């Protein structure tokens, strides 16, 4: 299963702490950018795969990056090795040749033309950590009106919104993903980091593949992983945010997790099995309630559409 986790704003006590994690203002925008940068630089991320930045209607793409198991799917991918590849978090990965990437990256990806940003143009970014630093530098320069040295395609833009998404190998997964210096694969579906700043607010989220059991929530390596990220962001905005699973509020509610200072720890081991069963049952029922509400709203909206539809003269009827 994919285990989602987020940065929670601990100053907010209602459910919006999950969804509007960081408020849209220049200070918080900088906090978000610094969080993305520091987490990518830190030891919690072992390898960096393909990533994208969105700057309003412009998409910045890195080359394709694949592991040993999927390298045959691509025509020209070069194995990364040596000190530079290690520093750039690409060691043991296969990266699309720059010449091929430049030919490919001429139009935005399908998701970028149909998603939140509706991109119309696409441009190349270097792979690995150097490319992430490059994208963040562009965003900061635009917001601070420091345009000297920027590429012509963004030099004159008045940036409103930005987003970022990429695949990674988390350090906690090294023993399963890296063998003899080669990376087996990067799961772009499960192992991700992404953040955005739009009119809807700001947020930073992550994905981990957590196996097929709820035991992942109390696994020491997973808790160490979350607490390490909290420690990173505490250095940026002390005491304001905490890294936790999507279901953190429910996990705390059922004593599966507890907070000790700034850290998340496993709850009482003796009652853990019972608490996990209660958690699984309750969250399943709540998800059914949510699905029922969605279905009801769809039917209600469909009925309104029929009532408010057009008559045979093409005039919209009002109720």
What is the residue whose two structure tokens read 């909290």?
A: 230
Least confident of 22-31, 77-86, 178-187, 308-317: 308-317
Question: Which range, 14-23, 137-146, 292-301, 309-318, is most confident?
Answer: 137-146
Residues of the chain with pLDDT > 90, as a percent, come to 49
DSSP per-residue string spanning 253-291: HTTSEEEETTEEEE--STTHHHHHHHHHHHHHHHHHHHH
The backbone torsions φ and ψ at residue 199, rounded to the nearest 5 degrees and listed phi first, read -65, -15
At 246, is the pLDDT very low, low, confident or very high (cuts 50, 70, 90)?
confident
Looking at the predicted structure, is the pLDDT value of residue 243 above 80?
Answer: yes
What is the residue-averaged pLDDT of the chain? 81
Residues in the chain: 319
Measured CA to CA, the distance from residue 89 to residue 17 in angstroms comes to 32
Give the tens place of pLDDT for each residue, 63-112: 999 988 765 555 588 999 999 999 999 999 999 999 999 999 988 876 66
Looking at the predicted structure, is the pLDDT value of residue 300 above 60?
Answer: no
Give the tens place of pLDDT for each residue, 199-223: 777 788 888 766 556 788 899 999 9
Question: What pTM value is reported for the model?
Answer: 0.81
What is the residue whose two structure tokens read 């929530």?
A: 217
Measured CA to CA, the distance from residue 200 to residue 178 in angstroms comes to 38
pLDDT of residue 211: 58
Measured CA to CA, the distance from residue 62 to residue 8 in angstroms comes to 29
Least confident of 17-21, 216-220, 248-252, 282-286: 17-21
- 3-class SS of residue 82: coil
- Over residues 100-127, the mean pLDDT reads 83
217, 273, 276 from 213: Cα distances, Å: 9, 12, 10
Beta bridge partners of 48: 168
177, 216, 267 from 212: Cα distances, Å: 17, 8, 20
At 13, is the pLDDT very low, low, confident or very high (cuts 50, 70, 90)?
very low
Measured CA to CA, the distance from residue 17 to residue 8 in angstroms comes to 6
Burial class (CB in 10 A: 0-12, 13-18, 19+), 261: exposed
Looking at the predicted structure, is the pLDDT value of residue 236 above 50?
Answer: yes
Looking at the predicted structure, is the pLDDT value of residue 235 above 70?
Answer: yes
């Amino acid at each position: 299963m994919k285990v989602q986790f987020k940065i929670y704003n601990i100053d907010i006590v209602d459910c919006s702490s999950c969804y509007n994690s960081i408020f849209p203002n220049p200070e918080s925008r900088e906090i978000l950018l610094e969080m993305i940068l520091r987490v990518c630089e830190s030891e919690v991320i072992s390898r960096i795969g393909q990533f994208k930045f969105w700057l309003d209607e412009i998409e910045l793409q890195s080359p394709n990056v694949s592991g040993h198991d999927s390298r045959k799917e691509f025509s020209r991918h070069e194995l990364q090795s040596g000190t530079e590849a290690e520093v750039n978090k690409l060691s043991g990965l296969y990266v699309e040749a720059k010449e091929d990437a430049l030919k490919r990256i001429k139009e935005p990806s399908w998701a970028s033309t149909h998603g939140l940003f509706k991109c119309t143009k696409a441009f190349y970014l270097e792979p690995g950590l150097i490319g992430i630093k490059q994208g963040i530098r562009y965003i900061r320069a635009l917001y601070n009106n420091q345009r000297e040295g920027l590429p012509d395609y963004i030099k004159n833009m008045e940036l409103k919104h930005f987003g970022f998404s990429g695949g990674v190998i988390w350090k906690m997964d090294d023993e399963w993903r890296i063998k003899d210096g080669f990376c087996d694969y990067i799961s772009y579906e499960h192992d991700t980091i992404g953040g955005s700043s739009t009119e809807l607010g700001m947020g930073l989220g992550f994905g981990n593949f957590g196996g097929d059991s709820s035991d992942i929530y109390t696994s020491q390596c997973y808790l160490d992983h979350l607490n390490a990220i909290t420690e990173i962001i505490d250095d940026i905005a002390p005491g304001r945010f905490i890294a936790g699973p999507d279901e953190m509020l429910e996990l705390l509610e059922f004593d599966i997790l507890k907070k000790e200072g700034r850290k998340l720890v496993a709850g009482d081991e003796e009652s853990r099995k019972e608490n996990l069963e209660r958690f699984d049952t309750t969250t399943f029922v709540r998800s059914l309630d949510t699905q029922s509400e969605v279905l009801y709203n769809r039917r209600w909206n469909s009925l309104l559409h029929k009532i408010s539809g057009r008559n045979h003269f093409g005039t919209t009827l009002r109720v």
